[in-house]
Structure 1
């Protein structure tokens, strides 16, 4: 019998959002290269976080011919309160996925690729082998292609996972290693079930010690955090050497997910951006529609 996917119903499903969505939040419709991007992704049966996580920027990014490929299937072993990706028992690892991703990237003619995945706590390596194999396939087809990973925290196998991914790179290949802390520590229990703030920081610190690696993280705002809590997380990230930061507005994907506690004003995002630059981040994106891989190629 096929394995059943369980869709969580959270206790907070009936809690309303903090008022109506403001005018500064707007989603772009698809156009331009949207169709060819969809064909390149759907033809070989690949997954993107754009679709699975219901990213509000899918129309804009796909119209520019860019997409964030989601490895290791479409079923996550965790049930975070903010995430629209389905949770349950994942199927067996698809060893042909790395080659199909590389073929899709070649078809789209991309110079920069962002790879992410679901959490796979059922695997001994947390899925690091598929990340490594995909990097290898991409570099074999196009030497020097820009690579950005947005990985899970590799609970219980961080060091082996980092080493396995790094072994897939050549001596001149550079990598952006992203891992999102997502929110402030006080909200982890409801927002990131199964995750630990300290564990996420440790992964970013370890990855950032590797040569030719830049580290990156992101936070969603509007979940109930305070201004000072966000600044403290930014300081923690800089203290471990993180160079890139994305700050965006949390948008509730369904009524079964955490409610929006605040719609952060654009002026506040501008203040956060200025604070991040003052702290020394090299690359900062801050705004309501910003997501971790939004305009990553810049």
Structure 2
């Protein structure tokens, strides 16, 4: 049985960040007019990551074309045309922050024919030019099943292709009304087929009413499409207008899921209440050394 509580527990408290370091990162982001998912999605780890000099860059935003009720990214603003200078500005941030590993994600841009694939490619290429030693992870939307767009991104050869399944199939209509579970699995399957050297990754939120059996089934489904890396974390309600939390999952349950995931053959399972999709993403560099391709 899943270990749950209904009142926000002590283990979800986040240490106060060192604001001097946070301020330095924010200054660079503001100077280069860049968005981060850390800020736009109200990530609880923003202090830890900014203190470490890392950030998950949010391109093509901050306005999203989908309205997922769990997400704090704005969907009420009208998306703007793509900025051709964004890849160069992002690459400059990577250079200034001296990042060993960078995560690039985006809002959903269903208004674009390629879902924004060309902008991902531009960012990857710009970073390669100024910081060739930096490993690159892209956390992409489902691209509305435009598999040519997926191939375009993979041809740019990011080290990691991340796409989150987010929740269990039964809850998709409530949690991801414009998403599709099978489509997400197909994206991950095709990624391994199109670019066998690229590590694939996915993430799940818990605490929305799913069962332990359902979580384990999703983990099995992800391994069936050869997903390499899995993250699991507690859903936290960004505001009163967002989806309510069904339950808080105890750390022991996250440990049990990590052990189960490892038994299924995931190369890495990051599982804890405060884990987010990009949390400690730089650890993939160690994984690449242990499991080279």
For normalisation by structure 1, the TM-score amounts to 0.90
Check if 1:87 corresponds to 2:72. Answer: no
Q: Aligned to 2:142, what secondary structure does the other structure show? A: coil
Give 2:9's aligned residue: 22
**Residue-by-residue CA offset, 1:184-220 (whole Å, 9 max, x unaligned):** 0000001012000000001111112213201000000
Query: In the comparison of the two structures, how many residue pairs are matched?
Result: 276
Check if 1:226 corresponds to 2:226. Answer: no
Check if 1:43 corresponds to 2:27. Answer: no
CA RMSD of superposed structures (Å): 1.2
5+ residue gaps in structure 2? 284-293
**Residues 108 and 198 from structure 1, CA distance in 2 versus in 1: closer, same or farther, beyond 3 angstroms?**
same
Q: Aligned to 1:74, what secondary structure does the other structure show? A: coil
Distance 1:240 1:167 in 2: 20
Distance 2:66 2:208 in 1: 19
Deviates more, 1:248-257 or 1:28-37: 28-37
Matches within 5 A, 1:56-95: 56-88=44-76, 89-95=78-84
Check if 1:108 corresponds to 2:81. Answer: no
Higher helix share: 2
Check if 1:175 corresponds to 2:159. Answer: yes
Q: Which runs of 4+ in 1 moved over 3 A?
A: none
5+ residue gaps in structure 1? 1-17
Check if 1:281 corresponds to 2:266. Answer: yes
Give 2:22's aligned residue: 34
Deviates more, 1:31-40 or 1:261-270: 31-40
Give 1:199's aligned residue: 183
Q: Aligned to 1:166, what secondary structure does the other structure show? A: helix
Give 2:289's aligned residue: none
Check if 1:136 corresponds to 2:121. Answer: no
